[in-house]
Amino acid sequence: MTRTPAPFLPTSAKEMERLGWDELDIILITGDCYVDHPSFGTSIIGRYLESLGYRVGMIAQPDWKDPASLQVMGQPRIGIGVSSGNMDSMVNIYTAGRRMRRDDMFSEDGKTGNRPPHALPVYCQLARRAFPGKPILAGGLEASLRRVAHYDYWQDKIRPSMLLDTKADILVYGMGERPTPECFRRFASGGSLAGIRGTARLLGKNAALEFDRTGYIELPSYEEVLSNKDALMEQTKIQEANMNYYSASGLIQQYGDRLLVIEPPAEPLTPAELDRVHELPYARRPHPQYKGKIPAFESIINSIQVVRGCPGGCAFCGLVSHQGRTVMSRSTESVIREAETIAERPGFKGIISDVGGAAGNLFGSTYDIERCKKCKRVSCIFPNHCPGYHCDGQAVVHMLRMLRKLPKIRKLYINSGIRLDLALRQPELLREIIAHHVSGHMKVAPEHLDAKVMKLMRKGTPEEFYRFMDEFNRITKECKLEQYIIPLFISNFPGCTAKEMKTVDDFLNKHHWSLQQVQDYIPLPMTMGAAMYYTGKAPDGTPIEVNRGLAERRPQIEVLKKRRSPVKKKR
C-alpha cells in the first residue's frame, strides 16, 4: 500500500491523528534524538519501511525506567524495532578512561544522561514490558558489534550475545535495509524467522538439537570463551574470515543447551538501491520538538555520504563488523541531486563540508567478484593490495569536478579524511583533493609510526606516511597554497610500549607538530584489537604488552596531550 510520506515519522498520538492514522504497524525506538536525515540509522530504517507501505512511529530517548514512555502511540500492529543509536551506548557514555563523557553528541544541546548504559537490552526489556507478546527486533551498531560473545572493556568481562540480554526475537546486524523488512513481514505473517541473511537468533534446547548445522561454522562456545582467553582470539579470527558477503558461512555458538545462529551477511546494496535509500523523503533536520541544537547533526548538516563500507579492516575499528568490507557507492547523479538539495536550504553559505564516508577516496571502488567468492582476507588493502580490489580514484575526480560546477557551491571539502595508503595509488585524485578540497587542514590517519605497532593495527608502513607527507607538501607548494596535514595517532594500542610511542613523540618534536585530536585506544567489541587487548597476544599467538589501568595508560596519553593544539604552528 502506498501512502503520502509523513513530514516526520510520528512521535505522538497527536501527530498520528494529523496523519489520519489510528494505529501504527511498527514502532522504532532509538537512543538518539530523532533527526530525520540519512546519516541517522534509525531514520533510514524508518523511512525505508514507510516507503514499503508500513505506518511507522518513532520513539526517541524514552524514559528507560517507565514502560509508559513507549506507549504514547498505542500498541503497534506488527512489532517493535530497537536501536541504541548511531553509536554503541558504552562508547557514547564512557571515555577510554572509563569516566563519564561530558557531552552526548546525539542529544539536544549535547546533554548527557538521556540513555542508559547497555541501552539496547534496557530498551528491549522495556518494550517487552510495554507490549507483552509483540515481537521485538534488535538492531543498529550496538547489536552488530555485540551479536556474539564479546569482551566488554568498560565492565572488563566477557558478555554473551546481545540476544541473551535483550531477549529480542531476532537481531539484525549491518545496515539493515534488506533483513529488517523481511523480519517484519514474517512477524506479520507468523512465519519462521530462519534463514534471513544479516540476522541472528537464539534457539531453545529442542530447536538447537534439531537444527541442521550443515554449512555453518562453529565458534567456541560461550562457556569456553568465559574460561579460556585464547578462545576469544580463535572466535575473532573465524568471525573476520566470514564477514565477506560473497564467501561467508553462517556461524553458530553454543550457550549451554541453547544455540546462537548467525546467518551470513546480507547482500550489499546496489548503487541504485543506495541512491534510493539516500533520496527517501527525509525532512533532513531534527524533529520540531527539539528547541536546542543536536551536535551530531550540526557536524553533518552540509555534508554528503557517498559510500558505505571500508576495505581496510583495521584492527581497532568496528566499521567492517557493521557496514562490511565491500564498498558500496552511490551514483554521481544521486550525489549531485543531494548537493543541490543542500544548496537550497535556508542559510546555506555555499560550502559543502564533506563528501565521503569511511574515507574520502573510496568512491567508485569495484571488485573482482569471482575472486571475492573465494576470499577470506580480513582486508582488501593490508598486508598488501588485493589485485581484485580496484579504486584508481577516477570516479572521485569526476564526481568532484561535477560538484564544483554547481552554481550555488563555492567550496567543497573532504573532511572525513582519506586512506593515505590508497591515495598513493591515486595520483590524479590526490592532486585534485590537495589543489581544491582541503579546508586548510587535511586529516590522515597513520595512527602510529612504529612499524611493529602499525602491523598489529593493520595500517601499512611508516614509509607510506612519509611518502604521503612529501607528496602533500610538494603539491601544496606547487599550488601556492597554505594548508597542512592533520595526522591522527592512537595511544595505548596493544603491543605499543613506551619505546614504540617514543617514535611518535620524536616525530612530533622533530616537525614541531601540534595535534587537533587526541585518541586513546578503546577496545571495541568484536574487533581484533579487543581480542589482542583481552588475551595479551598478537593474532599469531605472540605475547604482547598491554597497558590496562589508567596509571599504565597515562604516560602514552600524555605524549599526545602535550602536543594538542587547535592549530598547527609549523609545517
Q: Which residue segments constitute the domains of the chain, with CATH numbers given?
A: 13-197 (3.40.50.280), 302-436 (3.30.750.210), 440-571 (3.30.750.200)
Residue 259's Cβ-side half-sphere holds a number of Cα atoms within 13 Å equal to 19
Read off the amino acid at residue 566.
P
> Residue 568: its pLDDT value, please?
42
Q: For the residues of 205-273, what is the DSSP string, one character each?
A: HHHHHH---TTEEEPPPHHHHHH-HHHHHHHHHHHHTT--TTTPPEEEEEETTEEEEEPPPPPPPPHHH
Rounded Cα distance, 166 and 170, in Å = 10
For the entire predicted model, the pTM comes to: 0.95
Residue 306's Cβ-side half-sphere holds a number of Cα atoms within 13 Å equal to 30
3-class secondary structure, 38: coil
Rounded Cα distance, 17 and 74, in Å = 12
> Residue 565: its pLDDT value, please?
57
* Helices and strands (H, E) in the chain, number of each type: 23, 24
- Each of the 571 residues of the chain gets a pLDDT tens digit; together they read 567 899 999 999 999 999 999 999 999 999 999 999 999 999 999 999 999 999 999 999 999 999 999 999 999 999 999 999 999 999 999 999 999 999 999 999 999 999 999 999 999 999 999 999 999 999 999 999 999 999 999 999 999 999 999 999 999 999 999 999 999 999 999 999 999 999 999 999 999 999 999 999 999 999 999 999 999 999 999 999 999 999 999 999 999 999 999 999 999 999 999 999 999 999 999 999 999 999 999 999 999 999 999 999 999 999 999 999 999 999 999 999 999 999 999 999 999 999 999 999 999 999 999 999 999 999 999 999 999 999 999 999 999 999 999 999 999 999 988 999 999 999 999 999 999 999 888 988 899 999 999 999 999 899 999 999 999 999 999 999 999 998 899 999 999 999 999 999 999 888 888 777 779 999 999 999 999 999 999 999 999 999 998 899 999 999 888 776 544 433 3
Read off the amino acid at residue 281.
P
Rounded Cα distance, 287 and 296, in Å = 14
Helices 332-343 and 394-404 sit at what angle, rounded to 10 degrees? 30
Rounded Cα distance, 24 and 55, in Å = 5
> Residue 517: its pLDDT value, please?
73
> Residue 567: its pLDDT value, please?
43
Owner of C-alpha cell 547497555: 118
| Phi-psi label, residue 133: left if phi above 0, alpha if psi -120 to 50, beta otherwise | left
Burial 353-387 (b: 16+ CB within 10 A, else e): bbbbbbbbbbbbbebeeeebeebebbbbbbeebbe
